[in-house]
Structure formats: C-alpha cells, structure tokens
Structure 1
Amino acid sequence: MKIIYKITGVVLMLGLFVTSCTKDFTKINTNPNASPEALPAQLLRPALVKTLTVNMLRNRNFNNELMQVTVDASDAEGKVFRYDYRASWSDYLYNGWYLQLTNFKEIYKIASDSGLNYNRSYSGISLVCQAWIYSMLTDTYGDVPFSESNRAKEDSITEPKFDAQKDIYLGLFKMLDTANTLLTTGTAIDGSADPVYNGNISLWRRFCNSLQLRLLMRVSGKAEVAPMAIAKIKEIVDTRASTYPIMTDSSHSAILRWTGAGLLVSPYVGGVREQDFRTPGLASFFIDNLVAWSDPRISIPLPWGNGTFNRWGISPASGAYLGIPSGYAPGENPPKKAYFLSNTSAVSMQTEPLAGQIMNTSEVKFILAEAALKKWINGSAGTFYNAGARESIKMWLPNWNLDIQTFLAAADIEWEEGLTDDAKMERIHLQKYYALFLADLQQWFEYRRTGHPVLPKGAGLRNNGVMPARMTYPVLIQSTNPTNYKLAVTAQGPDQIYTQVWWQKP
C-alpha cells in the first residue's frame, strides 16, 4: 500500500509540474518585443527594390524604345521602336505594380494601428509610394482599379471596379496631402530599411510634395480641373512653400542607389544578360543632341579644358558617336554605331548606382520653369530652366564646375526671352527629356502630355505614325474581372494602344 501511495504521489506531482509548465505556454514563449507579422522596416526595402526592378526593366525595353533613347534593331514583328508591341507587354508592369501596392498598403496598415508599431512616418512613406505607383498605373493604362484595389484579403473584393482617371488623380492629391501632414512629425524610422533616403523623413516629405507637383502639372491641361491644379501649384511653390517643402538641390533627389550589396544589386545585372544589355544601339535623337552640345556626360574632350568624361558608359564606333534612326523602315538595316556598355566595362550603366531613378531635382526645376512660363508662379522661367539644366548634369558629375549659362550658350540652347512660348516649351522639355533619363516611363508620359520634345518620325512607324497613348489591359483581366473590364472599355474607349487616357483628351 505504501508503494502504491508513493507512486500515486509521484504521478500527482508530475501532473502538477506538467500543468505548471504548459500553463500559458503560448504567452510565455512569445517575445513581447517582437511582432508575429512583418514590420514596416522589414517590408519597405524589398517593396522599393521590387518596384524599381519593374520600372527599370520596362524603362529599358519599352520607354527607351518608344522615346528614341535606344533602338533594338530588327525587322521582326512587335518592335517597340516602330510603335508595335504585343498585348503580353502589359502584364509585367500591371502585375508587378499591384503586387507591390499590397506590400505598401500593409506597411500603412501596420504603422497606422495603435500599439508598438504605430509610426506616422512609415504611414506617410507608404502613402507617397502608393501615390507614385498608382500614378504610373493610370498613366500607363488609363482607368484602373484604385478605390477597391488590393482588398481581396480583408474585404473579399476579388473583382475590383476600374476608377475613372480623373477620380484617381483627385484621390492621389488627397493621399499626398495626407502624407505631407504625417511626415511633418518627423518620427524616426530604421535608416537601414530605407535605401532611398536612409531614414531622412524631411527628404521623403520633399519627394512627397515634388511628386504632387509632377501630377498637378500632368492634369493642368484639363479644363475641368485646371483651376484647382494651377491654384495648388501656386500654393505649394509660392503661398505656402514652408508647408510644402520640395526638392531644391541634388541631395534631395529620390534615387534608390544600387550598391551591389545584398538586395541592392541592379536589375540590369540580375535581370539582363551582358550580351543582351549591349544589343540595343543608341538612337540618333538621343546621342546626336549630346554630341552637338559637347555634353560632359559622354566621352568628348571638352573645349574648355574640363576633362574627358564617359559618365553614361557609352561605347562609340571608331571614335564617333553615331546613332540608329528610330522607326526606320524594314529592310533599311542601319548599322549599330554606339551602345551602352555592359558590366564588363569599368564605367557601365548596367552597374550604375544612380540608375534607380524615382524623381530628381532637375525634373522639379523644369516643372517650375513650365509653371513660370505660363505665369502660374512667381519667378523667371529662364532662371528655373538654367537651374534644371545644371542639376541634370551635376547629378551625374558632381565635380563639373563650368558655369551653366556658358555651357548652354556654347551649345546654342540658352534661354532666349524672344522665343515663342512653343519654342520655349520645346527648349524646356528637350532638357527635361535628359533629366528623365532612366525614370520609369516619365519621358513617354510627358511627351504624350505636351508633344515635346519633337521626335523625328521614321518611315517604318506603325499606329499611323502616332505615339501610342497607352498599354492595353492584361489579357488575364478580361477573364478574371470581365464585368468591370467591359465597363472600363465602354467608359474609356477601345482597349487599344491608340485610345487616349483622360488627361490626353482635348
């Protein structure tokens, strides 16, 4: 009996011991300082990198071909430089951008909830990035899902409606105003999680308001919103400038710098083979202007003894920079004369740290030049023009020290008050074209808005020789969201590359 009692006692003690060990097991073994979900600091860097990857790859083989930076010479069908591209081109941007919107929205959700992860700066950065991506989506396709997009998980919306582009833009302006307010607090974030500004919240705020200037200018030609857009531009630049700080020098530019370490390996290295990177030749329009100006960003001995540069890693042919006429007719087969060097070269755009362009200060200066030309803001259009040209070169060559007016006069592209407004617009947008080099599809968007700079037209162009106005919707959308797809096409026009988006229409 004693043995039985002893055994029973041991069992009871073990039971109590096991109970005490397992009681509140989950609570005890959960780190109170850790989050069971991804944190904003963990999501921000990969979301930015993946968005820039999508942008850069389509900048290289779509924007650059349309906008006569490069020519992927061939007589095959579906060559973008001839305004001819297949519907399958649409999928990559559409899917890539909406995928990253999910991540940026998650950052906003986590950072906006009260608790340990509450952080107004992450919330503001998220809204800036969402506005940036949505603007690229709507400028590429026209009407797209906006108010109901990326809500399948929380709201079970698997077939989101397509919002009208006008409504999207009005929503973006509200989004950016909210972001500016959130970023005013300057709440600290993890600098190592931010490959654009290294955690400098004041610079994110400058990008936020500069992005709003870009988008306001884009819709300023639409009569129904022009008064609002012009008034807001003046508010940001003149009447409430302290409330809306913008980019003013090159250190403010939004650029994801490719260091080559960890995630920060340029997609031109990981996504493009060396031989493929060298394949497209430079277009005549792009290179001929640089040669005519003795531009320091290419390797030309400069007459004022400031050295020889090749900042853009361009290979000449037999010492000469000659390009391929874009849009040439099939059968002409012009030879390739110059091209961007691959990473086998010491200086190469394939490994260039500054290739991750989001928005730079030079673009902002040219926005201000156009606004001043149209008398919307105070200041001289010529002064802003000179500043934009200077920043465009200094971003790539910080030690370049020639007076910008001397350079522009020698290149015969100085500001002249006696020119017509259209000629002044051409001068502004020709320089802006080079400022937008590598910035996703911005050259294409601005050409569609203004018709500048004037591009030569080859005999082989399709689409009646008219610059395509949009990408078509991905084919998959027609089967996965058929009702809203049909409504969008009815409202906007045929799902074709010639159908203008809202801000393009007269």
Structure 2
Amino acid sequence: MKSLHKLILVLCLPALLLAPACTKNFEDINTDKNKSGEASGVPEYNFSRALLEYTGNSDYSYETWRVNIIYCAMMMQQLSNVSWYAGDKYLQNEGWAASYFERAYPDQIKYITDVVRVTKDNPFQANLYNISRIAKVMIFHRLTDIYGDIPYSEAGKGYSDRNFTPKYDAQQDIYLDMLKELDEAAKALDATKPLPGPGDLIYNKGGSQNGTQIVASWRKLAYSLMLRLSMRLTKRDEAAAKTWAEKAYDGGLFASNEDNAFIIHDATGGRTTVNRVSNILSGEWNAINTPGEASISKTFMDFLKNNNDPRLQYIAVVPASNSEVPADQLGMPNGYDTNGSSSPTDISKAPGYPGDLKKYSVLNKNVLLRLNGPSFLITYAQTELLLAEAAKRGWDVGANAATHYNNGVRAAMKQLAQYSATAAISDADIQAYLTAHPYTDADGYNQINTQYWAASLLDWYESWANWRRSGYPQLTPVNYVGNATGGKIPRRMLYPSTELASNPTNYQEAITRQGTNALTTPVWWDKQ
C-alpha cells in the first residue's frame, strides 16, 4: 500500500510543479488560435458591408422594395401603381412600413457600430474610425427620418454590451449628436495616416485613389451631409439650421459631380451585390415589365413634358412601342386600380386612358436601371439646391439663390451621364432649359425644392423627407377608398409590432413622446 502511495505521489509531482504556470497562462492556452473572433477580424469588411447594406443589398428582406419603392416612390408621385403597392393609395401594411427598421438594425447598424467601436482607440485605424463615424451618421440619418425617435445611443450594442433593449432617443437629440459627429470626424481626418483600401466602396473604388483625394472627398461628404441635416431643422429651429448650414459651407462642400457619393454595383453577385432598385424594377423582379406595377406617375411626367425637360429622353420609355421619344411618353395617374369597369377607380376610368397599360411610360432600364449601375447617396446637385434655399433665406453661403439654383439644375442634368455615357445632356440644352425657366425669387422655395424632387429620382427616401420638410412640390393627394390616412400623404413609417413585445418600456416611452405609431404622425423636425 505504501508503494502505491509513493507511485501516485511521483506521478502527480510534475503536474503540481506545473500548476502555477498553467494557471497563469490559462486563458491564452485555452484559446483556439485558429478560430476567428473580433480581435482577428477585419473592420474594413464590416465597413464595406454596412455601406452595401445601406443601398439595400440584404438577401433576407426587401426593405428597399417595400419602403423606397412601394411606399416612397408612389407617395412622391414619381411612380404609379394600379395593383398592390400600398404607397400609391396610402394603405397601411405594417410589415412593409416596418421593414426598414427591422432590417437596418441587424444589418447596417450592427456592422457600422462594430467598426466604430473596434477602431476608436486604434491610432493606426484613426481614418477608418472617422470615416465610419460619417457613414454611421448617413445610415442613422435615413432611419430617423423614416421613423422619428429610434434607438441611437444604445443601438448596435447587443453583442458588445449585451444590451438587447436599447432606449429610443428623441429625434432632436439624435440630430444634434449627428451634426456634432460630422464636424468632429471631418476635422480629424488625416491624409498622412493609413486609409481604408478598396473596402471604401464610395471613394476608393478599386483601391486606386491616393490618401489626399480620399480624405478630401470624405470631408466634403461630411459637410454636404451636414448641410442636408441642417436644412431638416428649418421648420423647428431656423436659427440652429442657419448656424449649421453656414458651418457646413465653411467646411467645404461638393464642388462638382466628380464629388458625388455613390456606390457602383456588381451585376454578377446576385441580390447581395447588384443594384437593388434596378433588380426590383428591371431585373429579377422586373416590375416595370408588369403592366401598371411601376409606371411613371402622371405628376412626374407632366413636370418633365410641360417644361420640355431634356432629361425626359433618357428617363422614360413606352413599353408598348419601346419608344424613347419625349412626345410619346404618357404618365399614369396615382390612385387607380384594376377592379373592373364597375369600379369608379378602375384605371379605364382615368382621363386620357390609352386603352393599354403598356402605353404608360416606365423608367428607362438601359440608363437608370442597370444591374451594375450606381446607387447615389448624396450629390452635388442636391447640395447646390439646398444652398439655393439657404441663400434665399438670407444665410451666408457664398453665391446668391439664383446661382446655386442654376448650378443645381445643371448638375442634376449632367448627373445622368454617371448612370450611362449615352445619357449625356449638352451644355446648350441645359442652358436653353434654364433660360426658358429662370429662377424667380418670388417662387423660389417651390422652384428649388421641386428641382430637388426631380434630382433625387430613385432615392425616394430623400424625396419624401425633403417634401415633408419643405412642402414642395405641391402634390395633390389621392383619397382612395379604405386608405389609412384620410386622404393625406403619410408623414412617417411604422415601428414593428415586435418592438412592443421585445422592448416595451422604451417603445412606449417613444410613443408617449412622439405620438401614435401611425402613418399620419409627423416626426420631430416635421412638426409645425
């Protein structure tokens, strides 16, 4: 028995001697070096993913279709639909209206907040950190414009902080923080430090740009976005709007179409890489080739035709004849259906009905809807038109309202060539248009914001937001039987009903502060 004890002691002695060392390095020894984790991750990948998801490239939902097209494009009367698109007739479909909220948080917000968090204290990644802050504002900006009060300061922290019930921040607080973030991030960019490679899908496409160019471009983007945010405040706090708009101008804005922020898509990667709007309207879902599903609205068509707009020849085509001739184009009125000749809202009862839905114009897929075409995020044309309004208000933004207006219209027309080289409008045609439709200060707000509406074609989120802020263009609402708004164009989309179950306290606090979760409840900056 004693011999057995001695043997056990001898066998255990090495382990006892090694125990302190094993305990000291326990975490390192028991970590699988071959397993990927946050420390071994590549933040630039998440940055790229956030940008791509922002353009709608999620394979799990169709938020671009549901909110941008089904709702916003129809409400803003640039497209029209006679079947099931709820936005054409202000019908309520909670799943569609809530879809952007449901997809933005697990996709865009998760990726961009992760990048900001992991790069914050890394000097080597200082530029990626500050560029991501700018992108984060761009992402949250659209989300809060759609829904109002949203999770912001605590958003995207489910993994890092185990916070699965984030508070809803007041939109006013969100806007003030976003403006601060843009200013700080723009000032902190440094061309002497490392920059993202080709993961920067906006300004380093293909990894060919130098650091000075990239920093200058992102700084202009930050201040152009700041100008957009500042103008959102005009109904609620014009003094603050003026301060931030002038700060944006002083910081340096887009100066030509070469500065435009856009992402070029890849037609070979399916839903996760193609231009999502194009894929819905002319690609996989092919909405424009389903008669009456996505026709050009009579409102938009009348604007183009009545003003002899040189963009029309590239924007529209008649499916029945494949004609691109401006005189042949016909817009379809909003608010009609195909419920049969006994229905007063059947499209056959519409004035000027051509007898065939295929005779109503659709968007020209060869110009605007290429699967490898660009998604424009913020443009020089939009920036100049916002400056035109700022100048009309008497703010110090360089030139007068007429000059900025002319610059904006000219840039919007020239921008078509960035969709396709075949859509180049000549300087002579643009000047002829401006001569025939000169800026008139007495009608300035209408002219400026109606041109903004036209310049934001395909980005119907932005068209809708600026219309709510400015009231222009002066659209005539439809009052379809059974609509959810009393015949008024909706002012916001709907929170998901799942939030009431999963985050009830914070959800209810937002409802109490902002108002009923309804299509007619205005967001903070939209309240009179």
TM-score greater than 0.5 by the shorter chain: yes
TM-aligned CA deviation for residue 493 of structure 1 = 1.1
Cα distance in 1 between the residues matched to 2:320 and 2:132: 46
TM-aligned CA deviation for residue 113 of structure 1 = 3.0
Cα distance in 2 between the residues matched to 1:366 and 1:186: 34
Q: What is residue 60 of structure 1 aligned with on the other side?
A: 69
Q: What is residue 415 of structure 1 aligned with on the other side?
A: 439
Q: Indicate how the Cα distance of structure 1 residues 210 and 186 shifts in structure 2: closer, same or farther if over 3 A, else same.
A: farther
Q: What is residue 114 of structure 1 aligned with on the other side?
A: 122
CA deviation profile, 1:360-407 (whole Å, cap 9, x unmatched): 110000000000001012421000000000000111137433247632
Are the equivalent residues in 1 in contact too, given 2:146–2:493 (CA < 8 A)? Answer: yes
Q: What is residue 314 of structure 1 aligned with on the other side?
A: 317
Q: Does 1:367 pair with 2:379?
A: no
Are the equivalent residues in 1 in contact too, given 2:316–2:329 (CA < 8 A)? Answer: no
Q: How does 1:186-205 map to 2 (within 5 A)?
A: 187-198=193-204, 200-205=214-219
Are the equivalent residues in 2 in contact too, given 1:278–1:341 (CA < 8 A)? Answer: no
Q: How does 1:327-338 map to 2 (within 5 A)?
A: 327-328=335-336, 330-333=345-348, 334=350, 335-336=356-357, 337-338=359-360
Q: Which moved further from structure 2: 368-377 or 58-67?
A: 58-67
Q: Indicate how the Cα distance of structure 1 residues 354 and 209 shifts in structure 2: closer, same or farther if over 3 A, else same.
A: farther
Q: Indicate how the Cα distance of structure 1 residues 283 and 139 shifts in structure 2: closer, same or farther if over 3 A, else same.
A: same
TM-aligned CA deviation for residue 159 of structure 1 = 1.1
One-letter amino acid of the counterpart of residue 297, structure 1: R
Are the equivalent residues in 2 in contact too, given 1:47–1:104 (CA < 8 A)? Answer: yes
Q: Does 1:477 pair with 2:499?
A: yes
Q: What is residue 399 of structure 2 aligned with on the other side?
A: 379
CA deviation profile, 1:423-469 (whole Å, cap 9, x unmatched): 21111111111111122501101111111011133353732222111
Cα distance in 2 between the residues matched to 1:341 and 1:226: 37
CA deviation profile, 1:245-284 (whole Å, cap 9, x unmatched): 2111001011111242556422246556344343311100
Q: How does 1:291-306 map to 2 (within 5 A)?
A: 291-299=305-313
TM-aligned CA deviation for residue 297 of structure 1 = 2.6
Q: Does 1:70 pair with 2:79?
A: yes
Q: What is residue 101 of structure 2 aligned with on the other side?
A: 94
Q: Indicate how the Cα distance of structure 1 residues 186 and 353 shifts in structure 2: closer, same or farther if over 3 A, else same.
A: farther
Give identity over the alignment, percent: 26
Cα distance in 2 between the residues matched to 1:65 and 1:132: 24
Pick aligned residue for 2:178 from 156, 172, 179: 172
Q: Does 1:135 pair with 2:149?
A: no
Matched residue count: 453
Cα distance in 2 between the residues matched to 1:186 and 1:446: 37
Pick aligned residue for 1:218 from 232, 253, 260: 232
Give secondary structure in 1 for the equivalent of 2:312. Answer: coil
Normalised by the length of structure 1, the TM-score is: 0.82
Give secondary structure in 1 for the equivalent of 2:152. Answer: coil
Cα distance in 2 between the residues matched to 1:458 and 1:92: 24
Q: Which runs of 5+ in 2 are unaligned?
A: 1-24, 58-62, 337-343, 351-355, 419-423
Q: How does 1:19-38 map to 2 (within 5 A)?
A: 36-38=39-41
Q: Does 1:437 pair with 2:448?
A: no
One-letter amino acid of the counterpart of residue 44, structure 2: A
Q: Indicate how the Cα distance of structure 1 residues 187 and 404 shifts in structure 2: closer, same or farther if over 3 A, else same.
A: farther
Cα distance in 1 between the residues matched to 2:151 and 2:440: 44
One-letter amino acid of the counterpart of residue 242, structure 2: I
Q: Indicate how the Cα distance of structure 1 residues 264 and 175 shifts in structure 2: closer, same or farther if over 3 A, else same.
A: same
TM-aligned CA deviation for residue 141 of structure 1 = 0.9
Are the equivalent residues in 2 in contact too, given 1:359–1:439 (CA < 8 A)? Answer: no
Are the equivalent residues in 2 in contact too, given 1:147–1:163 (CA < 8 A)? Answer: yes
Q: Indicate how the Cα distance of structure 1 residues 246 and 184 shifts in structure 2: closer, same or farther if over 3 A, else same.
A: farther
Cα distance in 2 between the residues matched to 1:452 and 1:314: 26
Q: What is residue 257 of structure 1 aligned with on the other side?
A: 264
Cα distance in 1 between the residues matched to 2:455 and 2:361: 19
